Each structure stands twice: as C-alpha cells, then as structure tokens.
Amino acid sequence: MRLEGLNHITAITGDAPRNVDFYTGVLGLRLVTKTVNQDDPTVYHLFYADEQGSAGADLTFFEYPGAARGQVGVGCAYRVLSRVGSPDSLAFWADRLAEHGVAVEQGSNEVRFADPEGLEHELIVEDVPDEPLRAEHPDIPPEHALLGFAGVRAYSMRPQASRALAVDVLGALGEETLELRGERRGATITFDPAPPGRLVQGAGSIHHIAWGTTVAEHPLWHEHVNAAGVRSTPIIDRHFFHSIYFREPGGVLYEIADDGPGFAHDVPIAELGRQVVLPPWLEPRRAEIEARLTPLPDPRAGWPAGGSGG
C-alpha cells in the first residue's frame, strides 16, 4: 500500500466571507462545498479545490467567527505548498498577489505569501507526473492556475520520531524532505526547526493534514497503523469520504482519508458550492443549523456568461 500524497489540508478561519473572497477571488480556487463541522455543527466547514473537487487540491477551513489569530509552534503543520506550471506562473502570481495587496517573497523557484489571517503558502514549480488539478477563474489563465498540493512544512517536538513514523509506518521516502507517493499522486512533508513560543490554534492555523488513500485500501490502513502501535480513531464516515485520525509523535494531527464518494455524489458538479450541504444525519436540523451560519453567496454568481466552468 502507498499513500496518494495529501488528500486535503484543514485550517481555521475567523471570518468566512473574507476567507471565501481570498481563496476564490484571489487564488482562484473553487468553493466546492459549504457544509458544517460534523463535530460542531454550529460552524462552517468550507472546502476549496479544483473544478471537480478532487483529492489532492482540497483546502478546507473550519470557521470560528471572530477567532483570534493563532500562533505556530511545535506540533503543527504551518505552510501549504502548492504547485504551479512554470517560472512564468511564479511571476504571474507574484504580480497578482501584489496587486491585491498581499506581501510576497519571491525566490528562484518559489513564491511565498500568507492569507489575510497569516496562514503561510508557498508556490513552487515541480517536475512530477501528477495530473494538474486546476480550478477555473476568469482572471487567471489556465496555464497559471494552481495545480494541487505539493506538500506541507511542519514543526515537530520530536523530529526524529516524526520522520521514523512517516518512513516506517506510512512508507515515506527521503531524508530531510519526505515524500509519500502512490500510483497517481505524491506530496512531501518537511520538519523544520521550530520557532520559540508555544502552539496556539486559531485563525490562520492548520488544524490537521490528511494523507490520501483509496476506498478499497482505507480499512487496511486503519488496521496497519493500529498494528504498528499507533492509536487512531475508528473509521469515521464524513459523508464525502471516510477518515481515521491520529497524532504523530511530534504532535501534528494526521488523518488518512479515502477518495470516495466525493463532493459530487449528491450534488451535480455544476452546483458545487452554491448551497449548504449536510450529511443525512444532520439534515433534520437544517433550519436550526442554517440560522446560525453567515450567508455566503455563490462566489461565481457574478461571473461572465460561460466563465463558470461548471
């Protein structure tokens, strides 16, 4: 069994409308699902990805309205790495971000920036066989669109043990930068020396990272990690996929998520992101739940005709 890189990355926001504006309006991702945190249905869970809502491009946020900004420290992933297609794409993004008032650090093969709440991002050019996972946006040429996750950077309280689990249990390869690659996709994790100060989860923090697998192999991964002495949750039905969670030795919360049934199994692809979607067990509470949520209009509603890609 090989993990298929990153399935998704989940972070925290204190301002859902601003979050939607940034990730759809500036970065050009598609809002593929508005739902709620199944463990706390009073708050949003927003999913951004490519046109199809594919695993490998799925950046998600729990919204805790008004949440204070978090602080990175040991025991967390802190930076999202995404692929772009060429050095010209890096130049495009450096210019686009600057035009939107976003501070940019540009290197020879990367562009670094943060979202409005401080979540770090890095765009890189990589020569990999992974299928490009693009979203459409009228202001972003397809050749410059984001192409899915390349990896994450993290701070571990026990870096050697973190690497050992990634290699010995999860099957990662590499030295300083570890890669988890399956038949279709791969992604990396790098453990960096941690800054001073303790971790405080809040707006702009990464809550957990999810490694990907298939529907067929997901229960086998549950057996495998527990046989290796890793204490995990049971398999949890998340409606769009199935999950197990465990904390690796350095403190980072890991998930292993499968790739089915996906976001379009009960909503047509053209309708993704337009309505609040609830799993069947929360549907009887829809009126109560929606009354608590800030209305989020379809971010593609004002697009020119033919520009939605849906």
Query: Would you state the pLDDT for residue 108?
Result: 87
Q: What's residue 310's pLDDT?
A: 40
Overall pTM surpassing 0.85 (yes/no): yes
Q: Model confidence at 306, in pLDDT bands (50, 70, 90)? A: low
Size of the chain in residues:
310
**Per-residue pLDDT tens for 108-138?**
899 999 999 999 999 999 999 999 999 999 9
pLDDT tens-digit series, residues 233-283: 999 999 999 999 999 999 999 999 999 998 988 889 999 999 999 999 999
How confident is the prediction for the chain on average, in pLDDT?
Answer: 95
Spatial distance between the Cα atoms of 282 and 294, rounded to a whole number of angstroms: 18
CB contact at 8 A, 310 and 301: no
Domain ranges of the chain: 6-292
What's 6-292's CATH class? Answer: alpha beta
The average pLDDT across 90-98 equals 98
Contact present, 71 and 78 (Cβ < 8 Å): no
